[in-house]
Amino acid sequence: MNQNGQHSALVDEYIAAFPAEVQQKLQRLREMIREAAPLAEEKISYKMPTYAQHGNLVHFAAYKNHIGFYPAASGILAFKEQLSRFKGAKGSVQFPLDEPLPEDLIRQIVEFRVKENMERSQK
Q: What are the phi and psi torsion angles at 18 (to 5°)? A: -105, 160
Distance CA 93, CA 89 (A): 6
First-to-final CA distance of the chain: 26
pLDDT tens digits, 54-85:
999 999 999 999 999 999 999 999 999 999 99
**Domains of the chain: residue spans and CATH:** 9-121 (3.90.1150.200)
Report yes or no on whether pTM surpasses 0.75. Answer: yes
User: Which pLDDT belongs to residue 123?
Assistant: 82
Question: What percent of the chain clears pLDDT 90, i.e. is strictly above it?
Answer: 90
Q: What are the start-end ranges of the E strands in the chain? A: 41-45, 48-52, 56-62, 66-70, 88-89, 92-96
User: Which pLDDT belongs to residue 1?
Assistant: 46
